[in-house]
Amino acid sequence: MAMDAVAEAAPIIDDLKVCLLKNRTGIPFVTSDDPAIASNRWYLEDRRTVGCSFGINASGLITLLPLTPEILCLAYDGDVYSVQHEHGWVQVRNAGDVRALNQHQILNCFANLYLPETASEEDARSQYADCAHHRLAVRHKLNYAVPESEHEGYVRFVVTEADDSTRKGEALLHLQTLHPKPTRWPSLLRSRKPGAVYANGTAVNYVRERHALAPDSINPFRKERAW
C-alpha cells in the first residue's frame, strides 16, 4: 500500500523545486521513525487558511527528508518560497536553521528520534524541549455535521457534537488531518513576494498552479497574491 501511494503521489509533487542542504554546523540533522515530512508554512500562517488542512497539491507545500546527519532533501513550492542555492546545493552554516529543520522530526515522529553517536545528548534534549509542547496528541480530528437548512436544492450543514440528540437523522462525517506548527522556520526558506496561490472558492482551498490548470478542474481557479 505504501509503494502504491508513492507511485500515485509522484506526479502530484513533481512540480516542486528540489535542493539538497549541506549541514556545515556542529549540530547534526536528526531523523525519526517517520522521517518524510510534509509541512506548509504558508498554510499554517496565512489568515485565509485558518482552521484548514492541506494536502500534497496545496500552495506553499514543503517536504523534508533527512538523508544523513549532513544532508537533507528539501522540496518546496517555488511560487510561494525562494531558496538561494548553487547547482541545487545550499550550504547551511546557521545552527538555528538546523534546529528549525530538526523540529519537524521532533514534532512528527511517533516515538523515536535517531541521532549519530557523535551528537550531544544535552543539545538533543534542548532541541526537544524547545518544541515538545507543540507535539499533537492526535493527528486526525473527526468533524460531525448535521443539516441546518435547505435552499434551492442545497443543504447547509453545521458542525456539532455527536450525541443521542444529533444521531437520529442524516449527518456528514469529515476526517480532518491536523498539522503541528514549529516554533521557528529556517531562514534559508524565504518568502517569494508577491508569490502566487490559486483558489476557486470551494473546499479545495489553495492549490499550486499545476493543479489549478488541471483539465478536470470543474470550477475555474483565480490567481491570488501569496504574501
Could you tell me if 99 and 133 lie in one domain? Answer: yes
Beta carbons within 8 Å of 221's beta carbon, 6+ residues apart: 198, 199, 200, 207, 212, 213
Could you tell me if 106 and 156 lie in one domain? Answer: no
Whole-number Å distance between alpha carbons of 50 and 57: 18
Could you tell me if 73 and 91 lie in one domain? Answer: yes
pTM here is 0.88
Could you tell me if 61 and 114 lie in one domain? Answer: yes
Q: How many domains does the chain have?
A: 2
Q: What pLDDT digit, counting tens, does each position of 122-159 carry?
A: 999 999 999 999 999 998 988 899 988 988 888 999 98
Could you tell me if 72 and 146 lie in one domain? Answer: no
- Bond into 194 cis (ω within 30): yes
Per-residue model confidence (pLDDT) at position 216: 63
- The whole domain housing 106 covers 2-138+181-225
Q: What pLDDT digit, counting tens, does each position of 73-88 carry?
A: 999 999 999 999 999 9
